[in-house]
Amino acid sequence: MRHDHLITARQLSRADIETVLDRAAEFDADPAAYGDRHPGALLGLLFFEPSTRTKMSFETAMKRLGGDVVDMGSVESSSVKKGESLADTVRVIEGYADALVLRHPRQGAAKLTGEYVDVPLLNAGDGAGHHPTQTLLDLYTIRENAGLDDLTIGIMGDLKYGRTVHSLAHALTNFDAHQHFISPESLQIPRSVRYDLHESGAMVREHTDLTDILPELDVLYVTRIQRERFPDENEYHAVAGEYQIDAETLEAASDDLTVMHPLPRVDEIAADVDDTDHAKYFEQAHNGVPVRMALLDLLLGDSE
């Protein structure tokens, strides 16, 4: 993967994924021991949308490897506000950094950027498109808790606009995974993802209700249903309530069920789930650092 871009999870083979996760496990064992790995390396952060976890974990990962970050800052304070195109912005900033991380509200922004820059590019979310680095930390969390083969996973919530869902569904086609999509009909997975899953022969079923499938699941991956996806407030409340879980909901689940969420959550996972053994979403968020350390290490290559 050296000197390559990570635009979408579709480009990841099973071998690629396992390479990243194995390297992440090494870093995870002692994250503070790798400060001489990439001394002086600079990671350019281009976040055209707000981000807390993704941005901070990339920053932490780069600094853990002995490097540093250069941050474009908010769109409000940048030349983008003056009307500069993305293509121009990234061609300038690639001259300042050894690798770039991009988050952008438009789908396809990372693909476009990858056509203009030569340094490694990591897509940290492009609109409702993809979020492959989140997927790698999701896979790391699943591997640690449930294993990636012979896996039955439920993915619930906003599957239409949820970029973490799209990337995760693509990546899981590399494994022996049964995927159950649970969502209101208006937020089912988009046609393009369904097409890819069909082409790859993925084992997929779609549901509008969690109840029947919950006892079979090894992992339940919950995502937020956003209010702005619904034209009517009442409709939002009626629908969103159907896809919220609490400790009582999980009484019907396997004792070994792993509950995940890319965060931030609002009310789709009640706070009483946090105290159960099912809750792995904070561990999942912490895994962002070793996984992004592994990705940066592989993309930057040997420091010698």
Please give the positions annotated as active site. Answer: 53-54, 82, 103, 131
Instruction: List the one residue out of 272, 268, 217 whose CA is nearest residue 245.
Output: 268
Name the minimum Å distance from CB 196 to another protein: 8
Residues 129-148: x where in contact with another protein by CB under 8 A, - otherwise, as a string? x-------------------
Task: In angstroms, give the least distance from the CB of 85 to another protein.
Answer: 5
Which of 85, 186, 208, 211 contacts another protein by CB under 8 A?
85
Rule CB under 8 A: which of 182-221 touch another protein? 191-192, 195
Contacts 24+ apart (CB under 8 A), 14-17: 14/174, 14/175, 17/136, 17/139, 17/171, 17/174
- Determine which residue in the list 41, 86, 259, 269 makes contact with another protein, applying CB under 8 A: 86
Minimal CA–CA distance to 257: which of 302, 249, 19? 249
Distance of alpha carbon 253 from alpha carbon 170, whole angstroms: 25
What string marks each residue from 112 to 131 as x (binds another protein by CB under 8 A) or -?
x--x----------xxxx--
304 vs 300: CA distance, rounded Å:
11
Nearer to another protein, 111 or 286 (CB): 111
Contact between 229 and another protein by CB under 8 A: the answer reads no
Report, in Å, the least distance between residue 183 CB and another protein.
19
CB of 228 to another protein, least distance (A): 13
Give the span between the Cα atoms of 287 and 265, in whole angstroms: 17
Angle of helix 14-29 versus helix 288-300 axis, rounded to 10: 120
79 in helix, strand or coil?
helix
Query: Does 266 engage in binding with another protein (CB under 8 A)?
Result: no
- Report the candidate in 246, 258, 253 with the shortest Cα–Cα distance to residue 211: 253
42 sits near another protein (criterion: CB under 8 A):
no
Q: CB of 12: closest distance to another protein in angstroms? A: 16
Residue 25 main-chain phi, psi, to 5 deg: -65, -35
Return the number of the residue (23 or 229) whose C-beta is nearest another protein. 229
Residue ranges that bind another protein, judged by CB under 8 A:
83, 85-87, 104-109, 111-112, 115, 126-129, 191-192, 195
